[in-house]
Amino acid sequence: MAIKRRDFLKLTGLTLVGTAASAAVGDLLTRGEVKAQEYATPPEALKGKRWAMVIDVKKCKEGQKKGCGKKCIEVCHYLHNVPSIPDKKKEIKWIWEDEFEHAFPEQTDEYLEEIFKDVPFMLLCNQCDNPPCVRVCPTKATFKREDGIVMMDFHRCIGCRFCMAACPYGSRSFNWFDPRKYLKKVNPEYPTRTKGVVEKCLFCYERLAQGKLPACVEACPEKALIFGDLADENSEVSKILKERVALRRKAELGTGPAVFYLID
């Protein structure tokens, strides 16, 4: 049945009134909200296009001989409230030490293993160019920042652990229980995590925003850890990598790791 001209006009009028009324109600609901809110990157923040780290393993070895006490791990784990859990299967680590053969299992040269027998390798999240953890995260809790940092938004993590399965470096840890029980002292400036959340090294994004270098880099007494922008030709990391031989962990997988180990 066709609509009558009279009914059509009535409906049009009603729609107009309804639209006007809903606009007015909408204004009522958002009254008092601040309209012009501005956000910016702090002026003191360190700016880079591709953050990377170079680790001089020989200097690291020397430092450990002198008794540096693995300051990098200690400071990082204190500042970020990383608990020390004795159970290896449930431990949480942002930066840790391992042997050459575990860090570089794809290196088949047995003489290399001999050379690096007593050399400590500090391992951390490689902040990949092409991070597999980001590809598999169903909630975008982990994502890649424009400056190359593979970030975590702990608020969004649902604890599915796909990222842990995807990461070829074992850089991610899962909180099987409330981590606060295992924290001896706490940094009140940084949150802890909670049960059911995955965590990892975030290249000290919060310190970069304050214009500071990552905590491990600053803490190392031997200056064995060097941090900088790979996209900048004149940065320290770029210069070192042009002159010296460096290995990256499992680079053949195509993840594009940004942590380099100087081996010469």
For 238, the 3-state DSSP assignment is helix
Q: Which of 189, 233, 243, 252 binds other proteins (CB under 8 A)?
A: 189
Instruction: Decide: is 38 part of the binding site for other proteins (CB under 8 A).
Output: yes
**E strand map for 129-251:** 142-144, 150-152, 173-174, 198-199, 225-229, 246-248
Instruction: Decide: is 190 part of the binding site for other proteins (CB under 8 A).
Output: yes
Alpha carbons 54 and 238: distance in angstroms, whole number: 9
Instruction: Decide: is 186 part of the binding site for other proteins (CB under 8 A).
Output: yes
Tell which positions 208-227 bind other proteins, by CB under 8 A.
209
Instruction: Decide: is 153 part of the binding site for other proteins (CB under 8 A).
Output: yes
Choose the binding region for other proteins from 118-126, 145-153, 222-230, 242-250 (rule: CB under 8 A): 145-153
Q: Which of 28, 36, 108, 252 binds other proteins (CB under 8 A)?
A: 36
Instruction: Decide: is 162 part of the binding site for other proteins (CB under 8 A).
Output: no
Torsion angle, CA of 170/201/186/45, rounded to 10 degrees?
A: 180
Alpha carbons 100 and 82: distance in angstroms, whole number: 25
N-term to C-term CA, the chain: 87
Q: Which of 27, 109, 146, 243 binds other proteins (CB under 8 A)?
A: 146
Q: Which of 193, 229, 259, 263 binds other proteins (CB under 8 A)?
A: 193
Tell how strand 259-262 and strand 51-56 pair up.
parallel
Tell which positions 78-97 bind other proteins, by CB under 8 A.
81
CB of 144 within 8 A of CB of 50? no
Instruction: Decide: is 183 part of the binding site for other proteins (CB under 8 A).
Output: yes
Choose the binding region for other proteins from 60-68, 141-149, 220-228, 243-251 (rule: CB under 8 A): 141-149
Consecutive H or E run containing 5:
helix 5-29
* Residues that bind other proteins in the complex, under the rule CB under 8 A: 32-34, 36-42, 45, 81, 143, 145-147, 151, 153-155, 183, 185-186, 188-194, 197, 205-206, 209
